[in-house]
Amino acid sequence: MVQLNSSRTPANLSTKLRQFWDISAQKINLIEQGYDPGKGSPVFTIQGRYTTRGWTEWTQGFQYGSTILQFDATDAPEFLTAGRQKTLTAMAPHISHVGVHDHGFNNVSTYGNLLRLMNEGRIPFNEWEKNTYELALKISGAVQANRWTTIKSTSAGTPAGFIHSFNGPHSLFVDTIRSCRSLVVSHLLGHTFQGEGDRVINLLERALLHIRATADYAVYYGEGRDSYDVWGRTAHESIFNVTDGNYRCPNSQQGYTGFSTWTRGLAWAMCGFAEELEALSAISDDELAPLGGRDALEAMMSRAARATCDFYIDNTPTDGVPYWDTGAPNLHKLGDYLNHSADPYNEYEPVDSSAAAIAAQGLLRLGNYLISKAKPVDVEAGRRYWQAGLTVLDTLLSEPYLSTDPAHQGLLLHSVYHRPNGWDYVPDGRSVPCGESSMWGDYHLREVALYCQRIIDNAPYYTFFSQIVNHEQLV
């Protein structure tokens, strides 16, 4: 169980964060100098050097988004120059990519962060540059929304559906909730998405329906859906019959089974529900009323966010770093592993630090959201999540997770990509992967570090939609 320290504050991490951004800069430069972009997007490291893995091009936005986050945290102009240039020259194919469910990763991390910085006055205003970023985000959200599967509704007359994964129209991935960001951003920018016969497709509705489907099918609430129904556990993939729209079963692509919890998928849900809860504040009651209404939508998303964060806290070692799957077959060989710090060098099952980086942001955002509600019961729960998030971040900003080897291109060590497929590097003399990094792990550690850094600096609160809505305008 994650160990909470009620006295820890973001300011306590200031020294670590200064060191972190110095190391982060070194890693970005190391990749720029030593990686051949002709090989494709960097995905994960082997013996400390980034390599690629053909599946889908879902990590390039993390690579160039990292340089933009580095500028945001440090004001070092060379990172802004690189981030802008690489976004404009390399990211265009991702805007129109109809074959993936990852638009919220690639495009919000690049075009979205650049638009936010311009609207904050951090970079010089240029109308055509701003228009470019906005157009990219509008189209990205529409392309993502078009990956649509209609399913059987649980309420008569109410639509239901989801953004299907690259596996096909039958497949709902839990991680796709973070791509709902692209639909929400496109909607907030005022984009009109049209289908056959000029039918207008409501981007906000599709985002909220996908979030609801994720909450209904990918998240469990201890209500007896199956023999492994535990409060807050998640399934990586939910399978549907596309002929009649009925749900069929849980499945897993990167976890151990559909009946255990792949912890990175759990973390995607934690972060996704929490940030979409925040986004509701940017949307008017009039827009939400025909889609279920603010109260019902907040209740649905808050329940899923709390459940997944509770499961993470209860099923993660004391330092906040989880093993790759809570049902991994050799965990029992580690003994009472939940009551001491995780061991990334053990001989039985790998940890996944990238799950921790994503989960930390989810815990902090949910904690902040509940504390802001100012109801005693919400404040108490919010403080618990907030402190858990700080625990996780504190751990990741130190060795053995922070990569201090100047020859290693990765920033966050002990990340795992696809354990069932055997894609992760296992060092000589060891039986499980360890010591390597992933582009999503590095990016999300930078993202949660920036989240914390901006709180310490009393800067504007960092959200994925703050490039569009000033916080004085929020509901």
pLDDT at position 470 is: 53
Q: Is residue 366 part of a domain?
A: yes
Q: Is residue 279 part of a domain?
A: yes
Our count of domains for the chain comes to 1
Neighbours of 124 (CB within 10 A): 7
- List CB contacts of 57: < 8 A, sequence separation 6 or more: 40, 41, 93, 94, 97, 100, 106
Q: Is residue 4 part of a domain?
A: no
Cα dihedral sign, 204-209-210-214: positive
Average pLDDT over residues 383-400: 98
Taking a C-beta distance cutoff of 8 angstroms, is the pair 95, 139 a contact?
yes
* Structure confidence at residue 39 as a pLDDT band (50, 70, 90): confident
pLDDT at position 474 is: 40
Between CA 314 and CA 155 the distance in angstroms is 33
Cα dihedral sign, 310-315-319-321: negative
pLDDT above 60: residue 22: yes
Average pLDDT over residues 465-475: 60
The torsion of the CA quartet 201, 207, 211, 217, rounded to 10 degrees, works out to 40
Q: Is residue 131 part of a domain?
A: yes
pLDDT at position 200 is: 97
pLDDT above 90: residue 374: no
CA 92 to chain CA centroid, nearest Å = 22
> 317-347: per-residue pLDDT in tens?
999 999 999 999 999 999 999 999 999 999 9
Q: Is residue 2 part of a domain?
A: no
* Structure confidence at residue 154 as a pLDDT band (50, 70, 90): confident
Q: Is residue 1 part of a domain?
A: no
> 401-411: per-residue pLDDT in tens?
999 999 999 99
Q: Is residue 158 part of a domain?
A: yes
CA distances in angstroms from 308 to 259, 287, 381, listed in the order given: 15, 27, 13
The rounded percent of the chain whose pLDDT value lies above 70 is 99
> 356-371: per-residue pLDDT in tens?
999 999 999 999 999 9
> 244-301: per-residue pLDDT in tens?
999 999 999 999 999 999 999 999 999 999 999 999 999 999 999 999 999 999 999 9
Mean confidence (pLDDT) of the chain: 96
pTM: 0.97
CATH of the domain at 461: 1.50.10.10
Between CA 267 and CA 87 the distance in angstroms is 27
Q: Is residue 3 part of a domain?
A: no
Q: What is the domain extent for residue 412?
A: 10-473
Report the residue count for the chain. Answer: 475
